[in-house]
Amino acid sequence: MLIRLLPFGLLLGLAACTETTDQKAPASAPNASPAAAPPVAPAGPRTAQYAGEYSWGDPKRKQAGGSLTVYPESDSTVLVYFDISNGPPAFHLGMLLQRAVVRGGVARCAFKEDYDEKGCRLAIAFTPQAARVKTEPGYGECGFGQGVYADETYQRTSAAIPQQFVNGEGTTVKFKGLDPIKYQAGE
């Protein structure tokens, strides 16, 4: 008899341990308090949707390729770090850290060194899967090596917010609180 009642007892026990989410405590219940709301994660900058790591490679030019790392600095700015190689035979390199202003899904950065005639202007158009980089005509003095340009479609490989990047010297550099101008000056 006990064996026959065991399944019935288990069902009653399970029913007693469950409750539906639409049940509310009666208003007259002493010490009744509404269910606590789940904690809400702090909202990140609006530019977090563009954060992550992007890369490209050219199978026709072995070892030519590059990466773009995007860090959401504020609601309207991102920090971008490029690491590019034009491949054989010269293997010229280009590395760049800059702040870019984002409007309408396009990040733009512009800078000019003292020795440049016009400087550099880059536009980075984001989609959920990629970032298309174009240099504004006439403004290609970006400090990359000879024959190295950022212009390419970089496929998104990670949408996680990067915390750091490794520069050309092999040093790990943290994004949080990083000032690109001070970084470029070696401070």
By residue range, what is the domain housing residue 133? 46-184
Q: Is residue 29 part of a domain?
A: no
Gap between the Cα atoms of 51 and 78, Å rounded: 8
Q: Is residue 148 part of a domain?
A: yes
Q: Is residue 180 part of a domain?
A: yes
Q: Is residue 121 part of a domain?
A: yes
* Average pLDDT, 10 consecutive residues per value, the chain (187 residues): 39 34 41 46 78 89 88 97 90 93 97 88 97 95 89 96 94 95 86
Residue 23 is predicted with a pLDDT of: 39
Q: Is residue 27 part of a domain?
A: no
Residue 43 is predicted with a pLDDT of: 55
**How many structural domains comprise the chain?**
1
Q: Is residue 122 part of a domain?
A: yes
Gap between the Cα atoms of 110 and 45, Å rounded: 22
- Report DSSP state, residue 134: E
Sign for the pseudo-dihedral over CA of 41, 105, 109, 76: negative
Phi/psi of residue 13, nearest 5 degrees: -65, -40
Residue 96 is predicted with a pLDDT of: 93
Q: Is residue 161 part of a domain?
A: yes
Q: Is residue 135 part of a domain?
A: yes
